[in-house]
Structures are given as structure tokens and as C-alpha cells.
Structure 1
Amino acid sequence: MGYIASGISMSLDGFVTGPGPTRDRPLGERGEVLHRWLDEPMAPSDRVHLAGMRGRTGAVVMGRNGYAPYEGTAAGPLGTTPCVVLTHSPPKPDEVGAPELFTFVTGGIAEALERAGELAGGKDVVLHGASPVQQALRAGLVDELYVSLTPVILGSGTRLFDNLEGVHVQLERLQVVMSPGVTHLRFQVRR
């Protein structure tokens, strides 16, 4: 299946979207502030962090709502990196802008990660979005958590660590990278 990591920006109060996310606006109200650190000019430490993560990534697993901004396009969140989309109802083939880039699975997180591992070419599989991260944590299938902690309090939205009742995850801190607009935290999941 390969090495599985998350890569996500989060507010200080634990939200990865603002309130009211929709398919048309997946980051919800005010959620774009979470990714402000990605705007140019990017801090040198952020550039190094992002380049390292992108360089290790061979495939992305995302939910159907995470796919919405890329529907009908020829690129995903990491350009032409293969994406596996978890969904209950895949789109019709003629609705997919880049069928060679997006693979749709309906069998759950284990199937999505297995397929992404095949597509990753020996590189990491990165989880994109709260729901895939939560599903993989519940299944015990996450190796690392990368969280880019932004200095903002959103008050509501989608929490990264919701829906984990009864799940105990022990983490070991591997890296902390601080820059003016974000703190990158990297943890290994201990088994």
C-alpha cells in the first residue's frame, strides 16, 4: 500500500474549512485564510516544506467534495499527480476532465489507499481533506500526519479530528518548521 501521510492546513482551533463548506466552495466561509501561506511571495521555509512534500507524493486520496474544484479540469491539487476519489456515486466518464488523472472508488478507504499505492510508483500516498484523514485514522492506516497550523481561529467549520470516537492515536513529533504565516508540524503515527 505504500507510505501514507496527511497534508492539510488547519486553524488553531482545529478546523480545516470555515463554516458552511459546499461543493462549490469546499473551504467554506473564510476558509481560504487557511491557505494564505501558499500565496506568493511564499516564505523560503514554506517553499522548502512544500517542495519536499510534493517531491515525496506519488498519489493523492481525496473525498468527493475535495474533488469538486477539479471536476472537469485537467489537473488535481498537485497538478498531474494521480488522484483517487472516495465517493458513493462516481461521475459519468464524460464528466471527468482528466480520466487518466482521477480514479473513482466506491469500496471505502482501504480500497482507495490500495489503488493509490499502485498509482504512486513507490512514493507516498497523501490524504487530502478531513474525511479521508479521519477514515484512514479509524482504520489504522496513517503513517504520518502533516499539519500546517495557521494563526487564525475560525470558530466553526470542519474539524480535522472529529468522528474519531474510541480511536487512540499516539504520535511522535518528527519536525516543526516555523515561518511568519504558518507552523508546519510533522508527526509519525506510532503503532
Structure 2
Amino acid sequence: MGKVLTGGTMSLDGFIAGPGDSGFDLLFQWYGNGDVEVPGASPNVPPLRLSKASAGLLQEEWGDVGALVVGRHLYDLTNGWGGMHPMGVPVVVLTHRLPEDRPNFVFVDEGIEAAVAKAREIAGDKDVVVNGGQMARQALEAGLLDEIGVELVPVLLGSGTPLFADLGVTPVQFDGPVRIVEGTGVTHLRYRVRR
């Protein structure tokens, strides 16, 4: 059975989004500042152009992923990535408003435990990635996460949404970093959740 992971691209002051879902242009500059093209599976998302170090890490990690868990907010914000997540794997969407089924997406309204269980079932021996923000917080509080990844970018947003906003179980300790990769405009950090 694979691991359950989460993470996000984060500013130096700890935010994965600025006020009112702003700042993504600054947070994700590293997605287009390199010479290595990494195509995605979504027809609505252009290929990434990463530094060699970032491309190598993402291609390795993405190859180990069998399913994703995201919240309804991100699903709506991206318009369901045009029908396919860029990673090309099935997506479990945790929501209070069940829509009609769509290919490549499974909608769950029974909580984070049910969403992660469904994603594990879909992923088989591969990893499950839980999207950052509320989903990451809920999974951490439920004891479901094995590893955290942070893509740290050199920008200050001043305020916004932290990776683990309103965390109900503190303190939480991690082992590591167990891996550090320096890309262009981003430092990739990986930590294990301490049990």
C-alpha cells in the first residue's frame, strides 16, 4: 500500500494563497521558469516548463501517484481541470454538494476518512495525494498523512491561506527534511509525519 501525502507551494511567510485566492501568479512562477517541458494530461492546462531539478523530482513523484483527494473549492476553482487533472490520475472530490458523476472524478460526501479510503482503493499500491489547505488539515488531524511536501518560493504574500489553517491538533512534529531539492525559484522540502 502506498503513502498518503500532502503539500503545497508556499510563500516564505507560510501562505498557499494570498487574500481572496490571489498570488498564484507569484507562487507558481516556478512552473514556467525552466527548460524542461513536463506535459500534463489535462487539455485545459498547458505543459509545465521546469528547471531540470524540479522536473526530475515531479516526474518521479507523479509516477508514484495513483489518486488524488481534493476539496470542492479547488474543483470548482479549476473547473475540474477541463475533465482531467494534469497528473492524469483519478480524483476523489470531498464535497457537501454531490454533482452528477463525471469521468475521472469520484464525489464523496462522508468526510475526509471516506475520501482517503476511496482514493486508497483506487490507487492500489500507489500513493494518494491529498490537496493542501482544508483537505490537508483534515487529513493531518485524522492521522491519515504519512508525508508533507513544501514547494517553498521566495515571495512574501503578507496574509492569506496557510497550508494548515485552523489546525485543531498542535503541536505536530515532523522528521526531516528527508529530502531537499533546489529548483529555480523554488526549494522542494519533504518531511515525514512523526507518529
- 3-state DSSP of counterpart to 2:115: helix
State the identity %: 43
Shift of 1:131: 0.8
Q: Secondary structure at the match of 1:71?
A: helix
Structure 2 unmatched runs, 5+ = 35-49
- Structure 1: give runs of 5+ residues left out of the alignment: 21-27, 94-98
Name whichever of 158-167 and 10-19 sits farther off: 158-167
Q: Is the 8 A contact 1:144 1:189 kept in 2?
A: yes
1:162 to 161, 165, 184: 165
* Correspondence list, 1:73-152, <5 A: 73-78=82-87, 80-93=88-101, 99-152=102-155
**In the TM superposition, what whole-angstrom CA distance separates every residue of 1:109-157 from its partner, at most 9, and x where no partner exists?**
0000000001113100001131110000111110000110011000111
Whole-Å Cα distance in 2 between the matches of residues 72 and 6 of structure 1?
19
Look up the equivalent residue of 1:66 and give its one-letter code.
L
What does residue 189 of structure 2 align with?
185
Counterpart Cα distance in 2 of 1:70 and 1:168: 35
Matched, 1:176 2:180: yes
Partner of 1:24: none
State the SS of the aligned residue for 2:6.
strand
Contact 2:12 2:152 survives alignment (8 Å): yes
Runs of 4+ aligned residues of structure 1 deviating over 3 Å after TM superposition are none
| 1:59 and 2:70 aligned | no
Matched residue count: 178
